[in-house]
Amino acid sequence: MICAGQLLNEFPRIKRAITRYVFAGLFIPLLIKRGRNSDALKTMKELKNTKNSGRLIIVAYRLPFKIVREDDQSHLVQNSGGLVSAVLSLVSDQEDSVFSSEEKIQWIGFSENTKEELEGQSLANESFQAHPVFIPDDVNENYYEGFCNNLVWPLCHYFPSLARFDDAYFEAYKTANQLFFDKLDEVIQPGDVVWVQDYQLMLLPDLIRQKYPDNKIGFFFHIPFPSYELFRMFPVKWRKAIVDGILGADVVGFHTNDYVEYFLKAARLVSGYGNKLHYINMSNRIVKVDSFPISIDFQKFNEAYDEPEVIRAREEARESLKEKIIFSVDRLDYSKGILHRLQGFTRFLEQHPEWHERVSFVMVVVPSRDTIEQYQHMKMEIDQTVGAINANYGNIYWQPIIYQYRSMTYHELVGMYTASDVALITPVRDGMNLVCKEYVASRKDSQGVLILSEMAGAAAELGEALIINPLDNQGIADAISEAFAMIPEEQEKRMSAMRERIRDYDVFAWTNDFFTQMLMLEQEHERLKQVFLTNKGIDNIRKAYEASSKRILFFDYDGTLAPIVADPSKAIVSEDVKKLIMEIAKRDTVVIISGRDRRFLDTHFRDLPVHIIAEHGALIKTKGSEEWTLNESYEENWKDSIKPILNMYAKRCPGAFVEEKETSLAWHYRTADDKEYASRRAQELSWQLKNFIQPELNLQIIDGNKVVEVKKTAFNKGTAARSFVDGSDYDFILAIGDDTTDEDMFEALPDTSYTIKIGDDLSAARNHIKNQEEVFHFLSFMVSTIPE
Ligand code: GDG
């Protein structure tokens, strides 16, 4: 969990956001995750004044309906999946719902029917309007079977040996994403909110952003986002397209914090986007990347316990099966760990003859992708293993495993959930896994034991389950034995705790949580949005300047007083600017505030009556003094442990070099031979430093312009600027800067200050001006009416 102190130190840029939203902001999603569903709804209500003016558009690979034709008419037969109910919950007449029910939810998805079959049909029901996307067979094969299922799926589930790399796959992936976009392009209107689902559509958010910069876009990734070592197996262009494609969204959601971290690392290493507290600054907008553990409709499964069909199914199972029932159900997939489960069960039978003839393991495998060779092979192995176990351990009165290769009806499924003593869920990798949550929700009787793989995203939330490693046969065997021996009171204790958690964070809370983040982001955008100074704005500043009597002005150096040039030693302040500063400094307090070292700043400003702050606030030389003062909280003895790391990166990157300043270390790559390679190394270096240096060192890593800089956190431009204004009575404060480190200054100065950011990056500054050249004109105008 995030601690507030850490936030304030490390993320000064959003410090004001934290203050403003301390309850309504960053902490609310955490409250929602812990609190009750009704709290989540209340939060939405508090955050919104009005309903979203636009409609909700879902884009997912599949449409959530079957299109059934009867008497030349098409009807939508709606699936009862969790996502469908969840999005429906966002739309109602209630004041606190996100969307108005006057508008249907627009759902864009692939259609298995041809265009001709659907020609002229109205594809709508009470709540949804369907917009089928038609993908030619050859494209769909390379796109869906190829890129999605033969490459992304195995890589994301840590089966790189099964991944197939084929240029035609990626081409088809781009074509298909474009086809989804083309359909959306026909449908979208201003104000509509688009929610893109899953790994089949990773390029889509950016396609939308390019043409519709003002529509809100969400993206949710349903499978594991892999660690960088796996992700880097995608060819460079592909991985960049994926990261940039996803980052077209405003809010990007994953199931767990691990997946979020892995994605953030990929965003940094692939496209150079750093993040602060999961916010990525994309220069003209911010993206929020966060975890939203998907859930289920708890009440539906809970109430099903008493439905007659479920009672009948449960009773039949109990009558016809043995004393102890183990149940598992999953799609045929190598990620689900079906064979490992069988091996674990074999070990159990081997070691526990006392349970022979007293246990039935009902294992249902739902047909899936079985046209693919790998899946056919896996199916054969499962068939053979089940056959062998039943042959070796069973007898004419007892079959240890009841194996079904088919799908079950909903009532059969819940009948089995509620009849079984143990749910055995052993994926070797699973984004979340809803089956285990459904099992828990169905157990209104608070009985039954969940054995769950630590590789399922759900394991992070269901700590009361018996957590196993699916590759550890003995671990599975021991867990089964422990489950069979577990007394009802203990079962109840564990099950009740898990049920409460899922009841609180059900699929409705999940969607609410996601949309709360979308709204929060809108407010944050509003705060950070660039307001460029108009003539009127400039004139207002001039008037304020004129009307004041005690003024202080802070100027950053590079990119503010001097232009950014390739060779830093040649970034020289022009004579005109110098003259102007001289003129201002005669009547006002002027502070030059820079990351440069004192020698450089002395050379350029020695003859001016100004205060100088060097090395981001570590060193200060006051006007008229010859002495520099070192910030009192600066502590030495940290560079020796960091310098070798920077040197090693410099050696491995021709042209990069390490600069040792008095109070900081900088790894420069402006002069590197291969800029692209160097920028990748810089990202890796920064990542390594941020993640592996000891927190006790209190160091801050700054990703600057072609430089990675390491300094103490104890001071920054903000603390340095405050030391000038605190306790004084300036009635006009102005600060101008272009760099990320200037944000500390903008944040730290009083709200009445005039803060100006150069360029269009999102900033805490109140105003922006376009470029460095304009600084001179702006300042000249500001002081123009004051007599010398
Ligand atoms: C992906 C991610 C993530 C299964 N067999 C039958 C049946 N089901 C239903 C279950 C459950 C759903 O299918 C399976 O959901 P999972 O989450 O377990 O797995 P994936 O399909 O792989 O889904 C996964 C999920 O997306 C959501 O983000 O959790 O990690 O891989 O609802 O009940 N339903 C019926 N008969 C069956 O035979 N009626």
371-375 long-range CB contacts below 8 Å, 24 or more apart? Answer: 372/145, 372/149, 372/150, 374/162, 374/334, 375/332, 375/333, 375/334
Provide the pairing of β-strand 657-660 with 56-62.
unpaired
Residue 26, pLDDT above cutoff 70: no
pLDDT at 779: 94
Task: Give the three-class secondary structure for 535.
Answer: helix
What is the number of the ligand 1 atom nearest to the C-alpha of 456?
30
Strand partners, 68: 75
Q: What is the whole-number distance in angstroms between the Cα of residue 427 and the centre of ligand 1? A: 12
Q: Which residue has the higher pLDDT, 695 or 669?
A: 669
Radius of gyration, CA atoms only, the chain: 31
Q: In the numeric block, which tokens belong to residue 622?
A: 């006051």
Band of residue 6 on the pLDDT scale cut at 50, 70, 90? very low
Q: Which of 278-287, 463-472, 642-651 has maximum average pLDDT?
A: 463-472
pLDDT at 102: 73
Q: Which amino acid is at 553?
A: L
* Percentage with pLDDT > 70 across the chain: 91
- For 526-575, strand residue ranges (E) read 551-555
- The predicted model gives 294-318 an average pLDDT of 96
Strand partners, 453: 468
What is the number of the ligand 1 atom nearest to the C-alpha of 224?
30
Q: What tens digit of pLDDT does each residue of 719-752 get?
A: 999 999 999 999 999 999 998 889 999 999 999 9
How many angstroms separate the Cα of 412 from the Cα of each of 259, 307, 436, 692?
34, 11, 16, 51
What is the number of the ligand 1 atom nearest to the C-alpha of 255?
28
Tell me the CB-side half-sphere exposure of residue 420, using CA atoms within 13 A. 29
Give the strand order in the sheet containing 275-276.
128-133, 105-110, 56-62, 193-197, 216-220, 251-254, 286-291, 279-281, 275-276
Q: Examine the residue annotation and report whether 513 is marked as an active-site residue of this protein.
A: no
Q: What is the whole-number distance in angstroms between the Cα of residue 47 and the centre of ligand 1? A: 33
Q: What is the whole-number distance in angstroms between the Cα of residue 198 and the centre of ligand 1? A: 14
Which candidate, 295, 219, 294, 296, places its Cα nearest to that of 263? 219
Q: What tens digit of pLDDT does each residue of 502-524 get?
A: 999 999 899 988 988 888 888 77
Q: What is the whole-number distance in angstroms between the Cα of residue 736 and the centre of ligand 1? A: 54
- Measuring from atom 26 of ligand 1, which residue has the nearest CA? 222
Residue 128, pLDDT above cutoff 80: yes
Strand partners, 271: none
Q: What is the whole-number distance in angstroms between the Cα of residue 438 and the centre of ligand 1? A: 10
Residue 44, pLDDT above cutoff 80: no
Torsional class of 277: left (φ above 0), alpha (ψ -120 to 50), beta (otherwise): left
Q: Which residue has the higher pLDDT, 154 or 526?
A: 154
- The predicted model gives 416-443 an average pLDDT of 97
pLDDT at 51: 57
| Beta carbons within 8 Å of 4's beta carbon, 6+ residues apart | 18
Q: What is the whole-number distance in angstroms between the Cα of residue 435 and the centre of ligand 1? A: 6
Asked if 73 and 58 touch (Cβ cutoff 8 Å), the reply is no
Residue 787, pLDDT above cutoff 70: no
- The predicted model gives 100-114 an average pLDDT of 85
Ligand 1 pocket, residues with Cβ under 6 angstroms:
222-223, 294, 329, 331, 366, 407-408, 410, 413, 430-435, 438
Band of residue 279 on the pLDDT scale cut at 50, 70, 90? confident
Asked if 604 and 573 touch (Cβ cutoff 8 Å), the reply is yes
The burial class, CB within 10 Å (0-12 / 13-18 / 19+), for 116 is exposed
- Measuring from atom 9 of ligand 1, which residue has the nearest CA? 435
Asked if 325 and 319 touch (Cβ cutoff 8 Å), the reply is no
For the chain, give the mean pLDDT: 88
Q: Which residue has the higher pLDDT, 114 or 194?
A: 194
What is the number of the ligand 1 atom nearest to the C-alpha of 410?
39
Q: What is the whole-number distance in angstroms between the Cα of residue 155 and the centre of ligand 1? A: 20
Q: Among 434, 440, 453, name the best residue to mutate to test ligand 1's pocket (greatest count of ligand atoms within 8 A of Cβ).
A: 434
Residue 1, pLDDT above cutoff 80: no
Q: In the numeric block, which tokens belong to residue 405?
A: 């290769």
What's the rounded Cα separation, in Å, for the pair 49 and 181?
31
- The predicted model gives 225-251 an average pLDDT of 96
How many other CB atoms are there within 10 angstroms of residue 760's CB atom?
A: 14
Q: In the numeric block, which tokens belong to residue 484?
A: 């069979």
Q: What is the DSSP string of 702-722?
A: EEETTEEEEEETT--HHHHHH
Q: What is the whole-number distance in angstroms between the Cα of residue 432 and the centre of ligand 1? A: 9
Asked if 276 and 14 touch (Cβ cutoff 8 Å), the reply is yes
Q: Which residue has the higher pLDDT, 193 or 25?
A: 193
Q: What is the whole-number distance in angstroms between the Cα of residue 82 and the centre of ligand 1? A: 10
- The predicted model gives 105-109 an average pLDDT of 94
What's the rounded Cα separation, in Å, for the pair 711 and 690?
12
The DSSP output letter for 339 is H
pLDDT at 635: 81
Q: Which of 129-138, 278-287, 639-648, 708-717 has the lowest mean pLDDT?
A: 278-287
pLDDT at 15: 32
- The predicted model gives 343-371 an average pLDDT of 95
What is the number of the ligand 1 atom nearest to the C-alpha of 336?
22
Task: Give the three-class secondary structure for 260.
Answer: helix
- Measuring from atom 39 of ligand 1, which residue has the nearest CA? 410
- Measuring from atom 21 of ligand 1, which residue has the nearest CA? 331
- The predicted model gives 763-774 an average pLDDT of 90
What's the rounded Cα separation, in Å, for the pair 703 and 81?
44
Q: What tens digit of pLDDT does each residue of 576-613 get?
A: 999 999 999 999 999 999 999 999 999 999 889 999 99
The burial class, CB within 10 Å (0-12 / 13-18 / 19+), for 397 is exposed
Asked if 90 and 128 touch (Cβ cutoff 8 Å), the reply is no
- The predicted model gives 313-329 an average pLDDT of 97
pTM: 0.77
Q: Among 84, 406, 435, name the best residue to mutate to test ligand 1's pocket (greatest count of ligand atoms within 8 A of Cβ).
A: 435
How many angstroms separate the Cα of 686 from the Cα of each of 124, 175, 217, 410, 707?
51, 35, 29, 50, 10
pLDDT at 33: 32
Q: What is the whole-number distance in angstroms between the Cα of residue 259 and the centre of ligand 1? A: 19
Q: What is the whole-number distance in angstroms between the Cα of residue 441 and the centre of ligand 1? A: 15
Q: What tens digit of pLDDT does each residue of 386-400 get?
A: 999 999 999 999 999
Q: What tens digit of pLDDT does each residue of 130-163 get?
A: 999 999 999 999 999 999 999 999 999 999 999 9
Q: What is the whole-number distance in angstroms between the Cα of residue 591 and the centre of ligand 1? A: 62
What is the number of the ligand 1 atom nearest to the C-alpha of 82?
32
**Helix residue ranges per DSSP H, 465-506:** 473-485, 488-504
What is the number of the ligand 1 atom nearest to the C-alpha of 333?
22
- The predicted model gives 339-351 an average pLDDT of 98
Residue 321, pLDDT above cutoff 80: yes
- Catalytic residue, candidates 192, 421, 556, 742: 556
What is the number of the ligand 1 atom nearest to the C-alpha of 407?
38
Asked if 198 and 223 touch (Cβ cutoff 8 Å), the reply is yes
Three-state SS annotation for 756-775: EEECCCCCCCCEEECCCHHH
How many other CB atoms are there within 10 angstroms of residue 35's CB atom?
A: 16
What is the number of the ligand 1 atom nearest to the C-alpha of 458?
29
Residue 227, pLDDT above cutoff 90: yes
Q: What is the whole-number distance in angstroms between the Cα of residue 433 and the centre of ligand 1? A: 7
- Measuring from atom 32 of ligand 1, which residue has the nearest CA? 434
What is the number of the ligand 1 atom nearest to the C-alpha of 430?
30
